[in-house]
């Protein structure tokens, strides 16, 4: 019942977005054709791209490129793994935007660390950038873009090994918000009055993300002709 209420709420929000921005969707947006099933499925699918456009922002200080936010209520709040997922939707409509929206994240990097968001700079988020960018490359074969972003991806991976690796070779989250599972029972009780020491927990999800990050970087390295890097990333993935 709770899930049904959530789905209904999402559907209502999509319809509202359609009413507010009825012409935002262009001819090159993906379409869903339904032979059997409710007609509103196709409309709701199209409305995804209207909502997507609402959350795309033009360059404004401190950002020199376009950027994306998770929803209309977020003001200049760019989130790391949200952007990785949002780019996977944009790539079917506009590959240039799908690539461009990563740049504010890279421009905010310090000593290799890419922050959680512009307002949460002391921790990071699930490392899905290499995976997302590789998926986009598979569509457009834009080697020049890989050349441009590879140093950021490489430095971020190195930072994770420096800052989030335990003595046993596994990885930990710095805090529950960094994991993306803010209210997970493995980190805290329901009221968040009791918190488990995160640095003592080998996080299977982060370790899995690191396997994906290493494998993605290995493939990107191969495309760029960086064979030694590719071997190192494959080795790191196999170790995990």
> How many C-beta neighbours within 10 Å does residue 125 have?
24
DSSP secondary-structure letter at 102?
A: T
Query: pLDDT, tens digit, for every residue of 26-51?
Result: 556 676 676 777 777 777 777 888 88
For residues 81 and 116, what is the distance between their CA atoms, to the nearest angstrom? 8
For residues 225 and 146, what is the distance between their CA atoms, to the nearest angstrom? 11
User: What is the pLDDT, as a whole number, of residue 182?
Assistant: 76
Straight-line distance from the first to the last Cα atom of the chain, in angstroms, rounded to the nearest whole number: 39
What tokens appear for 106 in the block? 């890279």
Residues 6+ apart with CB under 8 A from 229: 154, 217, 218, 221
Stretch among 95-99, 114-118, 216-220 having the lowest mean pLDDT = 114-118
Q: What is the mean pLDDT of residues 125-140?
A: 97
For residues 129 and 32, what is the distance between their CA atoms, to the nearest angstrom? 28
Counting residues of the chain whose pLDDT is more than 90, the rounded percentage is 63
User: What is the pLDDT, as a whole number, of residue 209?
Assistant: 98
What tokens appear for 149 in the block? 């972003």
Q: What is the pTM of this model?
A: 0.83
> How many C-beta neighbours within 10 Å does residue 45 have?
16
């Amino acid at each position: 019942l709770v899930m049904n209420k959530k789905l209904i709420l999402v559907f209502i929000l999509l319809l509202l977005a359609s009413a507010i921005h009825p012409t935002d969707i262009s001819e090159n947006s993906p379409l869903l054709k339904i032979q059997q099933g409710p007609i509103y499925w196709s409309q709701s699918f199209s409305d995804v791209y209207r909502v997507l456009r609402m959350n795309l922002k033009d360059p404004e200080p401190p950002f020199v490129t376009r950027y994306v936010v998770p929803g209309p209520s977020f003001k200049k709040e760019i989130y790391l793994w949200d952007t990785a997922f949002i780019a996977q939707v944009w790539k079917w409509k506009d590959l240039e935007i799908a690539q461009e929206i990563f740049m504010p994240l890279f421009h905010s990097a310090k000593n290799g660390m890419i922050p959680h968001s512009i307002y949460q700079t002391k921790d990071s988020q699930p490392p899905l950038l290499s995976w997302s960018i590789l998926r986009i490359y598979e569509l457009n074969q834009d080697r020049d873009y890989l050349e441009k972003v590879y140093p950021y991806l490489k430095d971020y991976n190195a930072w994770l090994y420096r800052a989030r690796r335990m003595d046993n070779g596994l990885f930990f989250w710095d805090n529950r918000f960094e994991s993306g599972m803010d209210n997970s029972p493995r980190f805290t009780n329901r009221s968040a009055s009791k918190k488990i020491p995160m640095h003592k927990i080998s996080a299977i999800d982060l370790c899995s993300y690191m396997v994906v990050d290493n494998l993605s970087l290995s493939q990107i390295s191969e495309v760029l002709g960086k064979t030694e890097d590719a071997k190192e990333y494959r080795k790191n993935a196999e170790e995990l």
